[in-house]
Amino acid sequence: MTIEQTSEQGGAYEALLPARLLITFIRRSDNVTRLVPFGLLLGANNVSWSFNADSLLVTDHHFCPSCLAGQSRPSIFAGPQMQWQVQTAQF
């Protein structure tokens, strides 16, 4: 991730996230299972981050990776095979 601080409260970053996923398909009629390895590369731009996250947010060292002014805010990681919208987890 390439990150910058643009205010006292936080800033923005961009990220490239490669992943090796395992997709499990389970047929409802008989629970037959098929496993498909799935590699992908996701990118995110202008993701807002901030310090001093809400105490209800699950953060590490008060760094909120998807927040604006301490409040959780959705961000999108996207690639050709997947769009993944995330926000900072909560207790």
Partner 1 sequence: MFLIHRGACLISRAKALVLSATVIAGTHAAVIPTGPNYFETVPAGTFMDFSRENIPRGFLARVPMPSSALSACKRAPINPSTLGTTDTVVQRLGDINVRLNARPVSVPIGLIAASLVSVTPLTVTFNQGHNPELWDVRVSLQPNEQQPRGGG
55 part of the interface to partner 1, by CB under 8 A: no
68 part of the interface to partner 1, by CB under 8 A: no
Q: How many CA atoms lie within 13 A of 5 on its CB side?
A: 8
Residue 84: CB atoms within 10 Å: 14
44 near 38, Cβ under 8 Å?
A: no
1 part of the interface to partner 1, by CB under 8 A: yes
69 part of the interface to partner 1, by CB under 8 A: no
Q: How many residues bind partner 1 (CB under 8 A)?
A: 54
- Alpha-carbon span 56 to 89, nearest angstrom: 9
Binding residues for partner 1, rule: CB under 8 A, are 1-8, 11, 13-29, 34, 36-39, 41, 51, 58-61, 63, 65-66, 74, 76, 80-91
